Chains A and B, each alone.
Chain A
């Protein structure tokens, strides 16, 4: 479903020299699978998520990235989103003055419009929202407040998953969604995520901790270091990592 071949990408800061972050990254996530990506700080995990979703300030210098055989890299961010790509941000944005529900509804309708589908009606939207909020134990009052403004770290992450449930993407990237969540919240969020697992869908879960993978069981685990996948394995790789740390594993890789 998601195919990355020899991906090279530079970060191009506005006020500094460009730096290569991804240095020949290859990865294959077949439809229906969930893959985890682990790796030390600064390895390029978030960079990968931005390159795939089309953030400005990153330049792909070589390689390719395809979703269902279609080249992602030439498309505008919103077009990629309408193709079913969703990123749960490591640092969700605060958007002043735009209530959560207004925002999500605008997103759903934009995507539907791009795909030539009918807009979601108000009652339908409210129904879906109620279900998603209940699943994630989000107080519906919270959804009337401006997006992420004044929300705690954990609340923001929960709202990312709420948006995901509403939008029902086909390929999801979760960038450290577990950070900031307490133990109960982690469970709730994981249940929400698991609800979206299915044969037509794929997922890339970026995390540092096994405890998320206890709830969202990955099919494969990859270790990303210095811009490359240096080791891949089954779920046991994450456990091994938990025990011995990156240094050990990287040495043996």
Chain B
């Protein structure tokens, strides 16, 4: 029931009741807690000195600083884009801290240096950072060794290496040594800039140029941390890699920068998760993610985005302005993006594929759920440059409450993309009468032998299906969840197992209170 989210103060109801109801609302966002830890912040504002401050904090080489400064110069001349179907008050870019780290974070040498508060934060989020715990399959607890021993090791359970980014710094990266044995470099981008400058120099900004767009340019100037992955020729990365982004400090923005390179014939599956505390203010997350797949390489990139969406009245929440792009640079390379977007007050995000290599393939699978006052404008771009390139887009949008959910996508077939193929399916589901669902596909075809197909539907949840389900004894909320799950199943199946389960739960929570 959409009205259930609206809290109207009637004469007979006192403010206390309203607050209690609101608190209940927020209870649903289990990740909304704040970690109390001493932080070191850059002074508020954005100027050249701040860019230098960040670069110095990261002990970056001169070329990196110059790169940032150039980006900053360009950014000052750019204007914020307005074409997306989103509305928000003007952002004051001077009113935020562009760098925040837990005191002494730069000096964590091993996991044992990481403060207890941070380890507990990640444990609470279900991300164990101590390798032996991951090995033993201990879930979501920094438990004692004794406890761990009692849990039988699940050898079949796939292991996931984690890079934990807390505000502006990576606090820990697990399984690094083991991965390096296989030749896989997995570390924070800050470290990679120092340790593998040649690789970084070669690829950074090669997929998303510094001046690509307003937010990407901003990111290029002030990016804080993110993950660097390099998979060498012919190597199948032995485990799933992941980054967990946590925004904690007040009055800050997070500027993630991730770069993943898979050399010829290599393979990696990478997962990204993110959460933030519940705050009244709007926090900015402006990320840039670049993927490079060389010949015969494959990258699977999955995201479960659960930033704080703001409360039911639209107060607070993360502004998520993200540029994600993959370059299928080599022949027969393959990049797939799978995203489950449930969080953020505003989502502006178009994970894209540049299909440069002949016979390369790009895929985009998306579930975007909006409720409350959330606004999402998300989709993909498939740029077909090479011969026989293929792309596939499946997007499932669900709008509830007073939210707006837009799919925006481009399929562009260039002159040399002989026999290119695209299939696009966009389905939108509306729950309630106060939300909006929009589909804005752009299709540009310059090849007669290309085959492009696009289908889109917009419907509401079927009353007849709901009744059928309830006749079998299933309550209304659960019935809605079940039907919604069915609606998004095609995409859920594209996620790695453990993520799919988590995503399913997240969907349920996100839609709670949307019917009645």
Contact = CB atoms under 8 A, between A and B. Distances in A.
Direct contact of A and B (CB under 8 A): yes
Interface of A: 53-56, 76-78, 80-82, 86-87, 89, 92-93, 95-98, 102-104, 106-108, 110-111, 114, 146, 163, 167
21 contacts: A53-B471, A76-B475, A78-B474, A81-B470, A81-B471, A81-B472, A81-B474, A82-B473, A86-B471, A93-B462, A93-B464, A95-B468, A95-B483, A96-B489, A98-B489, A102-B482, A103-B482, A107-B472, A108-B473, A110-B472, A146-B486
Contacts of A167: 472-473
B478 interface: yes
A96 B465 CA distance: 10
B485 A98 contact: yes
Given A93-B464, A98-B489, A78 B475 contact: yes
Given A98-B489, A107-B474, 17 more contacts: A55-B467, A78-B479, A81-B471, A86-B472, A93-B468, A95-B468, A96-B486, A97-B486, A97-B488, A98-B486, A103-B482, A104-B472, A106-B474, A106-B478, A107-B469, A110-B473, A146-B489
A87 B465 CA distance: 14
A96 B492 CA distance: 13
A106 B467 contact: no
B120 interface: no
A5 B77 CA distance: 79
Interface in B45-59: none
Contact of A87 (B471, B474, B483, B486): B471
Contacts of A114: 473, 475
Interface in B461-506: 462-465, 467-476, 478-479, 482-483, 485-490
A231 to B, nearest CB: 29
B471 A98 contact: no
B464 A78 contact: no
Chief secondary structure at chain B's binding surface: helix
B458 to A, nearest CB: 15
A110 B475 CA distance: 7
A98 B467 contact: no
A198 to B, nearest CB: 20
A55 to B, nearest CB: 5
A240 B463 CA distance: 40
Nearest to B490: A97
Contacts of A77: 467, 470-471
A55 B465 CA distance: 11
Q: Which of A86, A87, A106 has the most CB of B within 10 A?
A: A106
B463 A56 contact: yes
A97 B489 contact: yes
Contacts of A163: 472
Nearest to B481: A106
Contacts of B462: 93
A97 B463 contact: no
Q: Which of B462, B467, B471, B485 has the most CB of A within 10 A?
A: B471
Given A103-B482, A106-B478, A110-B478, A97 B487 contact: yes
B487 A78 contact: no
Nearest to A87: B471
Nearest to B463: A56
Contacts of A53: 471
Contacts of A111: 472-473
A76 B515 CA distance: 15
Q: Which of A82, A93, A104, A111 has the most CB of B within 10 A?
A: A93
B467 A81 contact: no
Given A95-B483, A95-B486, A97-B489, A78 B468 contact: no
A155 B468 CA distance: 17
Q: Which of B462, B463, B465, B469 has the most CB of A within 10 A?
A: B469
A98 B483 contact: yes
Interface string B356-376: 000000000000000000000
Nearest to A148: B468
Contacts of B463: 56
Nearest to A149: B486
A107 B474 CA distance: 5
